[in-house]
Amino acid sequence: MVKVTEIKSRMGAFCIVELGEYKLITPCDTRVKIIRSLSEKEMTADDLAKEIGASYSTVMDHMDLLEKAGIAESFLRKIDGENGRRKICFRLTS
């Protein structure tokens, strides 16, 4: 389970991201928004882009980093009603 807590201080806005036993303190940014969204459900890059207000290419760049870090993973999902078409989806690994 992933938990994200936003903290605002005189030094700016930060997030504490809890991934199992690990805690990260990071400035709030696109990756934190992606992690928060994926903690609720699996999503396509298009869905993530709409959810967090970023471009598709920005989401894909961040997902590449999150996958390399072992935080997220991609998989193929069949899209209902689209003649067997599949889309790349993302989910958190923990």
Extents of the domains making up the chain: 29-92
Average pLDDT over residues 87-91: 93
Q: Which amino acid appears at position 11 of this protein?
A: M
- Provide the pLDDT confidence category of residue 28 given band limits of 50, 70 and 90: low
- Output the pLDDT for position 21: 82
pLDDT at 30 over 90: no
Second CATH level (architecture) for the domain 29-92: Orthogonal Bundle (1.10)
Q: Which amino acid appears at position 67 of this protein?
A: E
pLDDT at 13 over 70: yes
DSSP 25-87: EEE--HHHHHHHHHHH--EEHHHHHHHHT--HHHHHHHHHHHHHTTSEEEEEEEPTTSTT-EE
Beta bridge partners of 72: 92
Q: What is the pTM of this model?
A: 0.71
Of 3-7, 41-45, 60-64, 80-84, least confident by mean pLDDT is 80-84
